[in-house]
Amino acid sequence: MAEAERITGTGGAPGAERSAEQASGTDGTPETGREAAAGATAVRGSRKIGVLFAVAALAYLLDLVSKVLVVAKLEHHDSIDLIGDWLRLEAIRNPGAAFGMGGAFTVIFTVIAAAVIFVIVRLARKLYSLPWAIALGLLLGGALGNLTDRLFRSPGVFEGRVVDFIAPKHFAVFNLADSAIVCGGILVVLLSFRGLDPDGTIHKD
Protein backbone atom coordinates (compact mmCIF):
# COMPACT_ATOMS: atom_id res chain seq x y z
CA MET A 1 0.00 0.00 0.00
CA ALA A 2 2.80 2.42 0.85
CA GLU A 3 4.44 1.64 -2.49
CA ALA A 4 1.17 2.24 -4.30
CA GLU A 5 0.67 5.51 -2.48
CA ARG A 6 4.15 6.65 -3.46
CA ILE A 7 3.51 5.76 -7.09
CA THR A 8 0.17 7.51 -7.06
CA GLY A 9 1.60 10.60 -5.37
CA THR A 10 4.53 10.97 -7.74
CA GLY A 11 2.41 10.17 -10.77
CA GLY A 12 0.04 13.09 -10.16
CA ALA A 13 2.74 15.73 -9.75
CA PRO A 14 4.02 15.84 -13.37
CA GLY A 15 0.49 16.23 -14.63
CA ALA A 16 -0.12 19.10 -12.26
CA GLU A 17 3.19 20.65 -13.25
CA ARG A 18 2.33 20.31 -16.94
CA SER A 19 -1.04 21.94 -16.29
CA ALA A 20 0.65 24.79 -14.47
CA GLU A 21 3.17 25.21 -17.29
CA GLN A 22 0.40 25.25 -19.86
CA ALA A 23 -1.49 27.86 -17.85
CA SER A 24 1.50 30.08 -17.22
CA GLY A 25 3.70 29.43 -20.28
CA THR A 26 7.24 28.15 -20.36
CA ASP A 27 8.64 31.49 -19.17
CA GLY A 28 6.36 31.66 -16.14
CA THR A 29 4.29 34.50 -17.60
CA PRO A 30 0.51 33.93 -17.44
CA GLU A 31 -1.13 33.38 -20.80
CA THR A 32 -3.45 36.33 -20.26
CA GLY A 33 -0.47 38.56 -19.43
CA ARG A 34 1.38 37.53 -22.59
CA GLU A 35 -1.72 38.07 -24.70
CA ALA A 36 -2.28 41.50 -23.13
CA ALA A 37 1.34 42.44 -23.77
CA ALA A 38 1.05 41.28 -27.38
CA GLY A 39 -2.15 43.26 -27.75
CA ALA A 40 -0.51 46.39 -26.34
CA THR A 41 2.37 46.02 -28.78
CA ALA A 42 -0.05 45.63 -31.68
CA VAL A 43 -1.89 48.77 -30.66
CA ARG A 44 1.27 50.82 -30.18
CA GLY A 45 3.12 49.84 -33.35
CA SER A 46 6.18 51.91 -34.20
CA ARG A 47 7.15 55.25 -32.72
CA LYS A 48 5.77 58.31 -34.50
CA ILE A 49 8.68 60.70 -33.96
CA GLY A 50 9.03 61.25 -37.70
CA VAL A 51 5.38 62.27 -38.03
CA LEU A 52 5.70 64.70 -35.12
CA PHE A 53 8.72 66.48 -36.57
CA ALA A 54 7.31 66.45 -40.11
CA VAL A 55 4.10 68.16 -38.95
CA ALA A 56 6.12 70.57 -36.81
CA ALA A 57 8.42 71.43 -39.72
CA LEU A 58 5.47 72.04 -42.06
CA ALA A 59 3.67 74.26 -39.55
CA TYR A 60 6.87 76.17 -38.79
CA LEU A 61 7.78 76.73 -42.45
CA LEU A 62 4.28 77.90 -43.38
CA ASP A 63 4.30 80.34 -40.49
CA LEU A 64 7.82 81.59 -41.28
CA VAL A 65 7.15 82.10 -45.00
CA SER A 66 3.84 83.84 -44.34
CA LYS A 67 5.48 86.27 -41.89
CA VAL A 68 8.32 87.04 -44.29
CA LEU A 69 5.80 87.87 -47.02
CA VAL A 70 3.66 89.95 -44.67
CA VAL A 71 6.63 92.00 -43.46
CA ALA A 72 7.86 92.52 -47.02
CA LYS A 73 4.55 93.20 -48.77
CA LEU A 74 1.95 94.24 -46.20
CA GLU A 75 3.61 95.97 -43.28
CA HIS A 76 3.24 99.78 -43.43
CA HIS A 77 0.58 99.36 -46.13
CA ASP A 78 -3.20 99.39 -46.07
CA SER A 79 -4.98 96.22 -45.00
CA ILE A 80 -6.33 93.83 -47.64
CA ASP A 81 -9.97 92.74 -47.51
CA LEU A 82 -10.39 89.04 -48.29
CA ILE A 83 -14.09 88.54 -47.46
CA GLY A 84 -15.62 92.01 -47.31
CA ASP A 85 -14.95 93.42 -43.86
CA TRP A 86 -15.36 89.99 -42.25
CA LEU A 87 -11.80 88.86 -42.94
CA ARG A 88 -8.82 90.95 -43.88
CA LEU A 89 -5.04 90.88 -43.82
CA GLU A 90 -3.52 93.50 -41.55
CA ALA A 91 0.10 93.43 -40.37
CA ILE A 92 0.68 94.25 -36.71
CA ARG A 93 3.46 93.55 -34.19
CA ASN A 94 2.18 91.77 -31.09
CA PRO A 95 4.22 91.87 -27.85
CA GLY A 96 1.86 89.47 -26.06
CA ALA A 97 0.76 85.86 -26.37
CA ALA A 98 -1.60 84.36 -28.90
CA PHE A 99 -4.38 86.70 -30.06
CA GLY A 100 -2.73 89.72 -28.46
CA MET A 101 -3.17 88.70 -24.82
CA GLY A 102 -0.70 89.70 -22.13
CA GLY A 103 1.36 92.34 -23.86
CA ALA A 104 3.24 93.19 -20.65
CA PHE A 105 4.63 89.66 -20.21
CA THR A 106 6.66 89.15 -23.36
CA VAL A 107 9.68 87.58 -21.61
CA ILE A 108 7.46 85.24 -19.59
CA PHE A 109 5.68 84.02 -22.72
CA THR A 110 9.06 83.44 -24.35
CA VAL A 111 10.16 81.23 -21.46
CA ILE A 112 6.84 79.36 -21.52
CA ALA A 113 7.18 78.70 -25.26
CA ALA A 114 10.69 77.33 -24.73
CA ALA A 115 9.44 75.10 -21.91
CA VAL A 116 6.61 73.76 -24.08
CA ILE A 117 9.08 72.87 -26.82
CA PHE A 118 11.32 71.07 -24.31
CA VAL A 119 8.41 69.03 -22.91
CA ILE A 120 7.20 68.01 -26.39
CA VAL A 121 10.68 66.87 -27.41
CA ARG A 122 10.89 64.78 -24.23
CA LEU A 123 7.48 63.21 -24.93
CA ALA A 124 8.62 62.26 -28.43
CA ARG A 125 10.65 59.36 -27.02
CA LYS A 126 7.47 57.60 -25.91
CA LEU A 127 5.23 58.65 -28.78
CA TYR A 128 3.42 55.77 -30.53
CA SER A 129 0.07 57.41 -31.33
CA LEU A 130 -0.44 59.00 -34.75
CA PRO A 131 -3.13 61.49 -33.60
CA TRP A 132 -0.92 62.55 -30.71
CA ALA A 133 2.02 62.95 -33.09
CA ILE A 134 -0.06 65.30 -35.24
CA ALA A 135 -1.32 67.26 -32.23
CA LEU A 136 2.12 67.65 -30.66
CA GLY A 137 3.61 68.48 -34.06
CA LEU A 138 1.15 71.36 -34.45
CA LEU A 139 1.96 72.60 -30.96
CA LEU A 140 5.70 72.30 -31.56
CA GLY A 141 5.60 74.04 -34.94
CA GLY A 142 3.43 76.86 -33.63
CA ALA A 143 5.55 77.37 -30.54
CA LEU A 144 8.72 77.43 -32.63
CA GLY A 145 7.18 79.93 -35.04
CA ASN A 146 6.31 82.47 -32.36
CA LEU A 147 9.50 81.77 -30.40
CA THR A 148 11.52 82.66 -33.50
CA ASP A 149 9.85 86.08 -33.51
CA ARG A 150 10.54 86.49 -29.79
CA LEU A 151 14.22 85.81 -30.29
CA PHE A 152 15.03 87.54 -33.57
CA ARG A 153 12.61 90.42 -34.10
CA SER A 154 12.77 93.90 -32.61
CA PRO A 155 13.01 95.30 -30.02
CA GLY A 156 15.41 92.58 -28.85
CA VAL A 157 16.10 89.01 -27.80
CA PHE A 158 13.33 87.50 -25.64
CA GLU A 159 11.28 90.65 -26.20
CA GLY A 160 10.68 90.47 -29.94
CA ARG A 161 7.19 91.23 -31.17
CA VAL A 162 5.31 88.54 -33.05
CA VAL A 163 4.02 89.29 -36.55
CA ASP A 164 0.23 88.87 -36.71
CA PHE A 165 -1.81 89.45 -39.84
CA ILE A 166 -5.05 87.42 -39.97
CA ALA A 167 -7.80 89.79 -38.83
CA PRO A 168 -11.38 88.44 -38.61
CA LYS A 169 -14.12 90.92 -37.80
CA HIS A 170 -14.74 91.37 -34.06
CA PHE A 171 -11.79 89.11 -33.20
CA ALA A 172 -8.12 89.43 -32.32
CA VAL A 173 -5.47 89.48 -35.03
CA PHE A 174 -3.42 86.27 -35.17
CA ASN A 175 -1.02 84.27 -37.34
CA LEU A 176 -0.55 80.72 -38.61
CA ALA A 177 1.53 79.74 -35.57
CA ASP A 178 -1.37 80.75 -33.31
CA SER A 179 -3.71 78.66 -35.47
CA ALA A 180 -1.42 75.63 -35.21
CA ILE A 181 -1.22 75.99 -31.43
CA VAL A 182 -4.99 76.27 -31.04
CA CYS A 183 -5.69 73.31 -33.38
CA GLY A 184 -3.06 71.19 -31.62
CA GLY A 185 -4.48 72.09 -28.21
CA ILE A 186 -8.03 71.21 -29.25
CA LEU A 187 -6.83 67.87 -30.60
CA VAL A 188 -4.97 67.13 -27.35
CA VAL A 189 -8.15 67.78 -25.35
CA LEU A 190 -10.22 65.53 -27.62
CA LEU A 191 -7.66 62.71 -27.44
CA SER A 192 -7.53 63.00 -23.66
CA PHE A 193 -11.32 62.77 -23.39
CA ARG A 194 -11.26 59.66 -25.58
CA GLY A 195 -8.70 58.06 -23.28
CA LEU A 196 -5.91 57.77 -25.85
CA ASP A 197 -2.43 58.28 -24.40
CA PRO A 198 0.66 59.43 -26.33
CA ASP A 199 2.22 55.97 -25.97
CA GLY A 200 -0.68 54.45 -27.94
CA THR A 201 -2.46 52.82 -24.99
CA ILE A 202 -6.09 53.46 -24.15
CA HIS A 203 -7.44 54.02 -20.65
CA LYS A 204 -11.08 54.08 -19.59
CA ASP A 205 -10.89 55.95 -16.29
The active-site residue out of 178, 197, 199, 205 is: 178
178 is catalytic: yes
Q: What is the dihedral of CA 22, 26, 27, 29, to 10 degrees?
A: -10
Handedness of CA 33, 195, 127, 116 (dihedral sign): negative
DSSP symbols for 67-116: HHHHHHHTTTS--EEEETTTEEEEEEEE-SSGGG--TT-HHHHHHHHHHH
Largest Cα–Cα separation, the chain = 110
164 is catalytic: yes
The active-site residue out of 63, 149, 164, 199 is: 164
Are 184 and 177 in contact by the 8 Å Cβ rule? The answer is no
Question: What contacts 6, CB < 8 A, 6 or more positions away?
Answer: none
Catalytic residues: 164, 178
